[in-house]
């Protein structure tokens, strides 16, 4: 397991201005971004670690930028509703969610998406745990603030559909950092199947708050972004670009090389 804790984020980076001039403050804390490996999987060198770390940091920045953009838009909309005198309810408020990108195999060029891999090859997923930075209601804190400091357990798990058995998994503990998102790079590999008998795996990501003295919470990856484009056939299967799996697991086929 490799764990990196980045520098403490300044408070100015954690305050978003609402359209009415009010601040939505987020707890100032350290923002960990980590690389975790399944049992038996090892990084080949420090150079690879630095390379993966760079890709992880770039993706984490994109997630943070998108969250901030969406937050500004949502705050502006809430301000418009408040000015018209309409009631602002909390129905449908979502505390947190999990998002995944993959599978990815690092190679040349920097990465190559692939859902058909040889047994023993490393397969990677970028996983983001996101809490809602919008206030739960007027004058109330956000989910990001409410859960800050609480522990949770994240697990990337696989199921061997061919043999109907549990596959490799990556599981670790973390703490909500007080900022809207945490991003992790999770790696695993599949057993070498028999010749002529490839094995199909299903991938899911789950999270569960482990501090049971407060409100229990759990989540799973509702959105998994598949960056593996499918060239298709002229007829009848059209090509398909990178796309999102919504409330559907990812599937990977492992073959014997």
Domain at 44, CATH number = 2.60.40.3880
For residue 98, give the nearest of 187, 248, 219 by alpha carbon: 219
- Walk along the chain (257 residues) and give the pLDDT tens digit of each residue: 333 333 222 223 322 222 233 333 333 333 344 788 888 787 666 666 677 777 667 766 776 676 667 666 666 665 665 555 554 444 578 889 999 988 888 765 545 667 899 999 888 888 989 998 888 877 888 899 999 999 999 999 999 999 999 999 999 999 999 988 888 889 999 999 999 999 999 999 999 999 877 788 999 999 888 877 777 777 677 777 777 888 889 999 999 98
- Give the integer Cα–Cα distance in Å for 248 and 242: 15
- The answer, as to whether pTM is greater than 0.85, is no
Range of the domain at 63: 2-255
- Give the integer Cα–Cα distance in Å for 252 and 123: 10
Cβ pair 154, 35 in contact under 8 A? no
CB neighbourhood size of 243 (10 A): 12
How many structural domains does the chain have?
A: 1
């Amino acid at each position: 397991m490799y764990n990196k804790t980045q520098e403490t984020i300044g408070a100015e980076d954690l305050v978003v201005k609402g359209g009415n001039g009010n601040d939505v403050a987020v707890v100032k804390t350290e923002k960990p971004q980590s690389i975790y490996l399944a049992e038996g999987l090892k990084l080949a060198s420090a150079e690879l670690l630095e390379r993966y770390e760079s890709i992880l940091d770039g993706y984490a920045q994109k997630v943070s930028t998108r969250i901030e953009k969406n937050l500004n838009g949502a705050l502006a909309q809430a301000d418009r509703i408040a000015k018209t005198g309409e009631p602002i309810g909390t129905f449908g408020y979502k505390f947190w969610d999990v998002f995944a990108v993959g599978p990815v195999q690092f190679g040349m060029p920097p990465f190559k998406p692939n859902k058909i891999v040889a047994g023993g090859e490393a397969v990677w997923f970028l996983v983001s745990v996101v809490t809602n930075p919008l206030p739960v209601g007027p004058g109330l804190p956000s989910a990001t603030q409410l859960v800050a400091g609480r522990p949770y357990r994240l697990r990337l798990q696989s199921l061997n559909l061919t043999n109907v058995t549990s596959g490799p998994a990556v599981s670790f503990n973390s703490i909500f950092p007080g900022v809207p998102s945490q991003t992790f790079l999770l790696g695993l590999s599949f057993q070498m199947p028999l010749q002529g008998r490839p094995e199909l795996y299903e991938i899911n990501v789950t999270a569960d708050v482990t501090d049971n003295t407060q409100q229990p919470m759990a989540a799973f990856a509702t959105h998994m972004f598949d960056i593996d484009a499918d060239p298709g056939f002229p007829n009848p299967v059209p090509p398909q670009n990178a796309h999102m799996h919504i409330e559907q697991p990812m599937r990977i086929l492992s073959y014997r090389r």
